[in-house]
Structure 1
Amino acid sequence: MKKLRIGMIGYKFMGKAHSNAYRALPMFFPHATKPEMAVICGRNQEALELAASQFGWAETETDWKTLISRDDIDIIDINAPSNAHKEIALAAAKAGKHIFCEKPLALTLSDAREMLQAAEEAGIKHMTGFNYRFSPAVQLVKKLIDSGRLGGIYHFRAWFLQDWILDPDFPLVWRLQKDIAGSGSHGDLGAHLIDLAHYLVGELDEVIGMSETFVKERPIAEEMTGLSAKGSKSAPKDKVTVDDATLFMTRFKNGALGSFEATRFAAGHRSTNSFEINGSLGSVRFDFERMNELEVYFTSDDEDVQGFRRVLATDPAHAYSEAWWPPGHTIGFEHTFIHEMLEFTSAIAEDRQPEPNFHDGVKCQIVLEAVERSIQERRWMKISEL
């Protein structure tokens, strides 16, 4: 198959992660379809030129509509802020381009459903960026559950804790503005937990939640990149319009119980993305800050040696590991994106939909909005109501 020529819209935090993945993919997975980093797109020409040179893109473009109209582009990679996802995705689908779109898929459920419908009608391949699925240790959890080795699942509890906006004088970045981001910790961090729950345990039946915005106003940012920003304490302030923390409980359709916590106000937690699953035959614990490790407990172990054991998911027995380093030599955050792009390019070559795709993005958006409705109406919310 010919190379897949990529046009990428966005060039900051996720743009760098995606670029690294495209560059590394053919080196470590030589049988994969090779992505060609054709065009990188953004609004700031000077910053764009710098990113193209640093990341390895052949051309730059400041108008995403011009990029999408090109006949020599096969894939549109969308990692611009959330408020841009829908318009770009609809145009890309109409132009017959395959689409990779970062999460959350859209600002609203209705927008997400419109994006899915457009992609399905166009017959293109579409993928949503839930990269944490692609950690070898998470793949091992999936294997343990699907094979029945954990038995029936009773509990899924998950938490994603950060502290990067703990300072009340941290500037008002776009992730703290609802009209751009859609929601705060809930949509940014909680979306990953929801997708992991769907992937590992199954669909949710009902939810009840609560949220809080601890710092109501912040200085307007002078400059922002990724999760960092520059500003002045004396700068004019504007309102924070998203949640700083959201917690919710759920009952899964299979009867399991779940709890979720997403916050940017957990001092000492730079990026603690963790979950624990309890089944009738055992339990697992995962913490992405130690992403190569999985803690596993089986009730069938002899009584005198029972307890959680540490599994280092770097042996060839674990997903993707044979492509990397000798056993015990760990991988990192950036590798989840390489595995993600392997799935995307392989799906295009094999003429199938990749996973997770826009269907998964919509399923996640349903839960996000159900939790928000639950908070507003102060009641249990059935997922089927949406």
Structure 2
Amino acid sequence: MKLRAAVLGCGSFGGRHARVLAGLPEHAELVAFCGRDEVKAKAFSNEFTGGRAAAYTDSRHMMEDANLDLLVVCLPPSGHGDEVAIAAQHGVHLLMEKPIALTSADGWKMVEAAERAGIKTQVGFMSRFGAVVEAFKAFQEGGEAGPVGMFDAQYFCNSLHSPWWREKEKSGGQLLEQVIHHVDLLRYLMGEPQTVYARMANLFHQDVPGYTIEDISVVVARFAGGPLGVLRSSNAAIPGRYDTGFNVIAQKVTVQAQNHNSGTIHFTTEQKEPLTIASEQDCYAAQMLDLVGAIRDDRPARTPIREGALSLDLAVAAVRSAEAMTEVAL
């Protein structure tokens, strides 16, 4: 079965997902692109399909006209509207970049529309498909890791990114737009926390016009029985570099990861050699193939839209904690 696919949003991530789809001709055919700028949409069509895909500037028109099976949504957080509801009405499956919304209320409206229609969904938390994450998850599900006591992650970079990214009302801030990858990993590996406590500040970008988000933050999530998740982030670290390493401390296994594809798993209660992983796995392709398989086999994808809403809930609660300067119960 070859899916008729379209990309909504012709920015950098739209191009990334279009490239993945173009590389999976046995599974999908790119038939449409939609963006605010018709010239850009046509340029994407030329680049990824040799001009065969139609170009649209209205997503509703595209979904009514293009006979789609799959829509890939690559919009800034503030750019979301009714695309999920419209896709659900037309029975169009979805891959959505994160975060799925700026507010929990909007996120759960999307979940309701998608689940009511029975469409398959995948949220772009591609770290779940990283080689290190998959290896630890296999140990965890096989009972070889034991309970997780701590997840500790950093997200350090130094870039002005796109203008919309610097504006709180458009991106939600670094925690909501970037660090939500680690928020999701924390949930994926540890479950749902009971409380969250956060602090954040803009210390080094106060003189940058339009920069209204944090550039440092720390989040501590507390789980039943005492386990902790700690997320540290900054947009004032080393320019040109993204440090996204994380550690997992479980009863029998400890993970030291440079990123979701590279790291070492140590066995702390057995005399076993550490497992070193250095993979170049394409997590974007892996998540797309997982969604294709979910559509084909009528099963849930690894990260359905409900997971996107739950991770958004935790990120929003962390922001609320920082603003109120108090621990927030979940």
The answer for the alignment partner of 1:362 in structure 2 is 309
The answer for the alignment partner of 2:266 in structure 1 is 297
CA offset at residue 126 of structure 1?
A: 1.6
CA offset at residue 310 of structure 1?
A: 5.1
Report SS of the residue matched to 1:38. Answer: strand
Mapping 1:37-186, distance limit 5 Å: 37-56=30-49, 58-70=53-65, 72-165=67-160, 173-181=163-171, 183-186=172-175
CA offset at residue 269 of structure 1?
A: 6.4
CA offset at residue 271 of structure 1?
A: 1.3
Report SS of the residue matched to 2:110. Answer: helix
Give the distance between the partners of 2:239 and 2:167, measured in 1 at CA: 24
The answer for the alignment partner of 2:198 in structure 1 is 209
Report SS of the residue matched to 1:286. Answer: strand
Taking a change above 3 Å as real, the CA distance of residues 111 and 336 of structure 1, as seen in their structure-2 partners, is same
Asked if 1:21 is matched to 2:20, the reply is: yes
Give the distance between the partners of 2:222 and 2:325, measured in 1 at CA: 17
Whether the 8 Å CA contact 1:202–1:253 is kept in 2: the answer is no
Give the distance between the partners of 1:301 and 1:381, measured in 2 at CA: 38
Whether the 8 Å CA contact 1:144–1:150 is kept in 2: the answer is yes
Deviations 1:196-234 (A, max 9, x none): 11111211111100011232353xxxxxxxxxxxxxxxx
Mapping 1:168-317, distance limit 5 Å: 173-181=163-171, 183-214=172-203, 215-218=205-208, 237=209, 239-253=210-224, 255-268=226-239, 270-288=241-259, 292-302=261-271, 309=274, 311-312=276-277
Report SS of the residue matched to 1:255. Answer: coil
Deviations 1:290-313 (A, max 9, x none): x543212112344xx88xx35135
Taking a change above 3 Å as real, the CA distance of residues 377 and 179 of structure 1, as seen in their structure-2 partners, is closer
Give the distance between the partners of 2:99 and 2:164, measured in 1 at CA: 14
Taking a change above 3 Å as real, the CA distance of residues 25 and 151 of structure 1, as seen in their structure-2 partners, is same
CA offset at residue 270 of structure 1?
A: 1.3
**Alignment-mate amino acid for residue 342 of structure 1:** L
Deviations 1:240-270 (A, max 9, x none): 2322222111112363111101221112561
Whether the 8 Å CA contact 1:245–1:264 is kept in 2: the answer is yes
Whether the 8 Å CA contact 1:161–1:269 is kept in 2: the answer is no
Give the distance between the partners of 2:289 and 2:251, measured in 1 at CA: 34
Report SS of the residue matched to 2:23. Answer: helix
- Stretches of structure 1 lacking an aligned partner (at least 5 in a row): 219-236, 314-329
> What RMSD in Å do the two structures reach over aligned CA positions?
2.0
Give the distance between the partners of 1:286 and 1:65, measured in 2 at CA: 42
CA offset at residue 7 of structure 1?
A: 1.7
Report SS of the residue matched to 1:204. Answer: coil
Whether the 8 Å CA contact 1:293–1:310 is kept in 2: the answer is no
Whether the 8 Å CA contact 1:176–1:240 is kept in 2: the answer is yes
Taking a change above 3 Å as real, the CA distance of residues 255 and 7 of structure 1, as seen in their structure-2 partners, is same
CA offset at residue 94 of structure 1?
A: 2.3
Taking a change above 3 Å as real, the CA distance of residues 72 and 108 of structure 1, as seen in their structure-2 partners, is same
Whether the 8 Å CA contact 1:286–1:293 is kept in 2: the answer is yes
Whether the 8 Å CA contact 1:25–1:341 is kept in 2: the answer is no
Give the distance between the partners of 2:270 and 2:325, measured in 1 at CA: 44
Taking a change above 3 Å as real, the CA distance of residues 141 and 6 of structure 1, as seen in their structure-2 partners, is same
**Alignment-mate amino acid for residue 356 of structure 1:** T
Whether the 8 Å CA contact 2:31–2:66 is kept in 1: the answer is no
Taking a change above 3 Å as real, the CA distance of residues 266 and 359 of structure 1, as seen in their structure-2 partners, is same
**Alignment-mate amino acid for residue 325 of structure 2:** R
**Alignment-mate amino acid for residue 300 of structure 1:** T
Whether the 8 Å CA contact 1:98–1:125 is kept in 2: the answer is yes
**Alignment-mate amino acid for residue 43 of structure 1:** R
**Alignment-mate amino acid for residue 54 of structure 1:** E
Deviations 1:3-59 (A, max 9, x none): 211121112211121112112235xxx6xxx11101011121222222221222622
Whether the 8 Å CA contact 2:176–2:316 is kept in 1: the answer is no
- Stretches of structure 2 lacking an aligned partner (at least 5 in a row): none
CA offset at residue 107 of structure 1?
A: 0.9
Report SS of the residue matched to 2:40. Answer: helix
Give the distance between the partners of 1:69 and 1:47, measured in 2 at CA: 21
Give the distance between the partners of 1:254 and 1:112, measured in 2 at CA: 29
Q: Under a length normalisation based on structure 1, what TM-score does the superposition of the two structures give? A: 0.79
